[in-house]
Amino acid sequence: MEQFLQQLINGLSLGSIYALIALGYTMVYGIIKLINFAHCDVYMIGAYVGYACMTYFHLGLLPSMLIAMAACTLLGMAIEKIAYKPLRNATRIAVLITALGVSMFLEYGTMFFVKAEVRAYPSMTGWMAQSFQVGGVNISMLQVIIMAVTVILMILLQFIVKRTRVGRAMRAVSLDKDAAELMGINVNSTISFTFALGSALAGAAGVLVGVYYNSINPLMGMLPGIKAFVAAVFGGIGLIPGAMVGGYAIGMIETMVDGYGNSLYKDAVVFAILILILIVKPAGLLGKNTREKV
Amino acid sequence: MKKFLGIALSALLIAGLMGGCGAKANENEIKIGINYELSGAVATYGQSSVDGILMAIDEINAAGGINGKTIVPVKSDNKSEPAEATTLANKLMTQDKVIAILGPATSGSFKAEIPVAEKNKVPVITGSATADDVTVDLVDGQVQYNDDGSVKGLKEYAFRICFSDSYQGSAMAAFAAENLSAKKAVIIKDTSSDYGKGLAANFLSTFMEKGGEVVAEEAYVSGNTDFNGILTKIKGMEFDVIYIPGYYQEAGLIIKQARAQGITDPILGADGFDSPTLVELAGADALNDVYYTNHYSSLDEDPMVVKFIADYTAKYGKEPDAFNALGYDLAKFVCDGLSRCETLDSESLKNALASTENFTGVTGSFSVDEKHNPVKSIVVIGLKNGEQDSSVKVSA
């Protein structure tokens, strides 16, 4: 039982990271039907910005995270403006390939500047380095921070999407872009805002991964990027609660396979479950089956 | 504008072609190719090896070169990709006309290079590719012999100056069973590399032979960062040591997460642990009771090693690690072969290398055996607070 609870905590902290990244995928998909492959590299850049803040300017976790989020916001908006906006009316495949290009550009461009080798985040000191026992379960402060930050950011995101004017605009654009434009919504700035929001979350995830795992490199986005994308599809792509559920589910499945199955087949099991879900519910766990309008 | 661009481009193209022709062989130079991982996943191995190689070449050239000829290294970066290593080997052999190639550092890339070497009949020599089947084809892990007693499937043009994984894995199993009196072990292996799988298999068989038991065998792939699931699972088991056959990138994180979960048992590894990044990733506090097999230890008091450490520190401003030492020995080994060549060509260099006897280097003295492997001893390094604290010479 203790071991199960411990694995639960492990799974939740891993799932939090996937959920934060998955939100960015799902929001962008929801609004312009684009799988933004560059998203996982925004996460990587976030980790590097946080690293720079902590190593060279000796800032604490919170200021570093806020700076990384701000930097990623700008980066996300820039990517949208430079790479995707000129292709707004192009075929979907053209935009998809552009997204792959942007992803490669960010990965190898970063590698040029920071070199390929792994860098270690400065280790946490004081209360953040502590861990405590609850009924035989070992929880580190960093795990608590990751889970708490994720929950806070999700509540904030829900508030923005459901309760603010710009959130209502986002929902309107994702429902029907042309109708939204006729209603006087500025579609371009709404899309730009969506990228900003998703990228800020990815930036936060980058810094959290940096402090938690202590290891960053220019290609660190690839694997979590794929997993987060799977999480978004798993929960129902385009749906914000779907990305949250999907992220936690994937993190939990991975940890449980490690813990009770065979660690060798971890990734195989994750993708097998994805395929099963998509066969049974093609629109994802929380998705509604909608008919394609012809 | 378009016309101008066209002219400029064709001018560039012609200049490029001319440049190709202009590279004429210089009579007073011996070109040696360097095909290493200068960027990419295992860049620190490549960079460290090349630092050692260049230092040795500088020393040899300063002492008059080989029969009055200067050694010229042709350095190239294979980005830690086997495919890139093959392409570079082809280029170095056919365009730069090198007499031999040093590197790559890892078994996968080195093995990819060997067919090119066999085709062009240019020897390739590595300092650190430790997989068992690097220099010879194996059948079920065993060397096969022809009727006349020669080794079957020998890669005629491939050599190495480091021990093999089976030797390394067995030596660590012997160390665990005898020096640490371990009875039960857990293996957490890197299944994405030949290196990790080879080490794990040999550790397992020797540890069982010595009366030990492997209670769990877990796996991960290169690039993983979260090992908490595996560690929580093994925490509930009874074991004396954890063996992690893998590279420093993941091993550092496994050690950190294991210590954070309160697992205090000794952690064992292989030469993949040998990188300053291991300390950065795991943190010095976590690196207690950590042992790994290695080619060389800076704690060695042999006068040759002491001089090497002093010279290296003076040149690069830091203490040499095993890859620096292997790179240094590698260049010295090849130059030793060159000095014994009858004619300066790849074929006679190959014969000279194959007949090397009692070569003395900083990683130990050795002769080259019929399988193109060196016969040498192994060192187990113990870490205390992230620093090398003990070194024991063992043999499997």
Identify the helix (H) or strand (E) that includes residue B89: helix B82-94
Task: Assess contact for B78 and B101: CB atoms under 8 A.
Answer: no
What was the pLDDT predicted at B20? 45
Instruction: Please give the structure tokens belonging to residue B167.
Output: 């030797």
SS3 labels along A203-255: HHHHHHHHHHHCEECCCCCHHHHHHHHHHHHHHCCCCHHHHHHHHHHHHHHHH
Q: If you count DSSP H runs as helices and E runs as strands, how many of each does chain A have, helices first?
A: 11, 4
Q: Which of B47, B77, B189, B228 is the best mutation test for A, with the most CBs of A within 10 A?
A: B228
| Cβ pair B228:A14 closer than 8 A | yes
Measured distance CA(A151)–CA(A49) in Å, rounded: 22
Number of alpha carbons in the 13 Å side-chain half-sphere of residue A280: 9
Please name the member of A6, A119, A220 whose beta carbon is closest to the beta carbon of B232: A6
Closest CA to B226 of A40, A142, A45, A51: A142
In degrees and rounded to multiples of 5, residue B76 shows phi and psi of -145, 160
CA distances from B234 to B173, B238, B261 (A): 19, 8, 11
Measured distance CA(B126)–CA(B101) in Å, rounded: 8
CA distances from A222 to A21, A104, A181, B326 (A): 12, 10, 35, 33
What was the pLDDT predicted at A293? 52
- What residue ranges of chain B are covered by domains with CATH 3.40.50.2300? 29-163+303-362, 165-294+379-394
Instruction: Please give the structure tokens belonging to residue B130.
Output: 């430790």
The alpha-carbon gap from B133 to the nearest alpha carbon of chain A, in Å, equals: 24
CA atoms B80, B81, B84, B85: torsion sign: positive
Instruction: Please give the structure tokens belonging to residue A212.
Output: 């938690």
Which residues are paired to B393 by β-bridges?
Answer: B379
Please name the member of B43, B223, B260 whose beta carbon is closest to the beta carbon of A116: B43
A-B contacts at Cβ under 8 angstroms: 86
Closest CA to B270 of B256, B285, B250: B250
pLDDT at residue B9 greater than cutoff 90: no
What was the pLDDT predicted at B19? 47
- Burial classification of residue B377, based on how many CB atoms lie within 10 Å of its CB (0-12 exposed, 13-18 middle, 19 or more buried): middle
Measured distance CA(B100)–CA(B122) in Å, rounded: 6
The alpha-carbon gap from B394 to the nearest alpha carbon of chain A, in Å, equals: 32
What was the pLDDT predicted at B102? 96
Task: Assess contact for B292 and B386: CB atoms under 8 A.
Answer: no
In A, which residues are within 8 Å of B43 by CB distance? 115-117
What was the pLDDT predicted at B116? 95
A266 to chain B: nearest residue by CA?
B220
Measured distance CA(B78)–CA(B43) in Å, rounded: 10
pLDDT at residue B7 greater than cutoff 80: no
Q: DSSP readout, B289-338?
A: SEEEEES--TT---HHHHHHHHHHHHHHSS---HHHHHHHHHHHHHHHHH
- Burial classification of residue A35, based on how many CB atoms lie within 10 Å of its CB (0-12 exposed, 13-18 middle, 19 or more buried): middle
Chain mean pLDDT for chain B:
88
- Burial classification of residue A102, based on how many CB atoms lie within 10 Å of its CB (0-12 exposed, 13-18 middle, 19 or more buried): buried
Task: Assess contact for A246 and A234: CB atoms under 8 A.
Answer: yes
CA atoms A204, A206, A209, A210: torsion sign: negative
ipTM: 0.80
- Burial classification of residue B174, based on how many CB atoms lie within 10 Å of its CB (0-12 exposed, 13-18 middle, 19 or more buried): buried
Q: Is A152 left (phi over 0), alpha (psi -120 to 50) or beta?
A: alpha
With b for 16 or more beta-carbon neighbours within 10 A and e for fewer, the B139-164 pattern comes to eeeebeeeeeeebeebbebbbbbbbb
The band of B348, judged by pLDDT with boundaries at 50, 70 and 90, is very high
10-residue stretch averages of pLDDT, chain A, 294 residues long: 87 93 91 91 96 93 95 96 92 92 93 84 81 83 92 93 92 91 93 95 95 90 90 89 92 90 83 87 80 54
* A170-179, A283-292, B141-150, B172-181: the lowest-pLDDT one: A283-292
Which residues are paired to B32 by β-bridges?
Answer: B73, B100
What was the pLDDT predicted at B21? 45
Mean pLDDT of B378-386: 91
* A114-123, B20-29, B66-75: the lowest-pLDDT one: B20-29
In B, which residues are within 8 Å of A116 by CB distance? 39-41, 43, 79-80
In A, which residues are within 8 Å of B221 by CB distance? 267
**pLDDT tens readout for residues B44-61:** 889 999 999 999 999 999
Chain B residue set in contact with A, beta carbons under 8 Å:
39-41, 43-44, 79-80, 191, 218-221, 223-226, 228-230, 232-233, 235-236, 249, 252-253, 256, 260-262, 277, 280-281, 283
Q: Where are the domains of chain A?
A: 15-225
CA B269 to chain CA centroid, nearest Å: 15
What was the pLDDT predicted at A190? 94
In A, which residues are within 8 Å of B218 by CB distance? 258, 263-264
Rg of chain A over all Cα atoms, to the nearest angstrom? 19
pLDDT at residue B23 greater than cutoff 50: no
Instruction: Please give the structure tokens belonging to residue B296.
Output: 């060389």
Closest CA to B268 of B230, B296, B240: B240
Task: Assess contact for A126 and A150: CB atoms under 8 A.
Answer: no
Assigned CATH for B165-294+379-394: 3.40.50.2300
In B, which residues are within 8 Å of A14 by CB distance? 226, 228
pTM (two decimals):
0.79
We find that the CATH architecture of domain B29-163+303-362 is 3-Layer(aba) Sandwich (3.40)
Q: Which long-range contacts (CB under 8 A, 24 or more apart) does A189-193 make?
A: A190/A31, A190/A166, A191/A31, A191/A32, A191/A80, A191/A85, A192/A77, A192/A80, A192/A81, A193/A166, A193/A169
What was the pLDDT predicted at B364? 86
pLDDT at residue B18 greater than cutoff 80: no
What was the pLDDT predicted at A22? 94
The alpha-carbon gap from B80 to the nearest alpha carbon of chain A, in Å, equals: 10
Share of chain B above pLDDT 90, in %: 58
- Burial classification of residue A287, based on how many CB atoms lie within 10 Å of its CB (0-12 exposed, 13-18 middle, 19 or more buried): middle
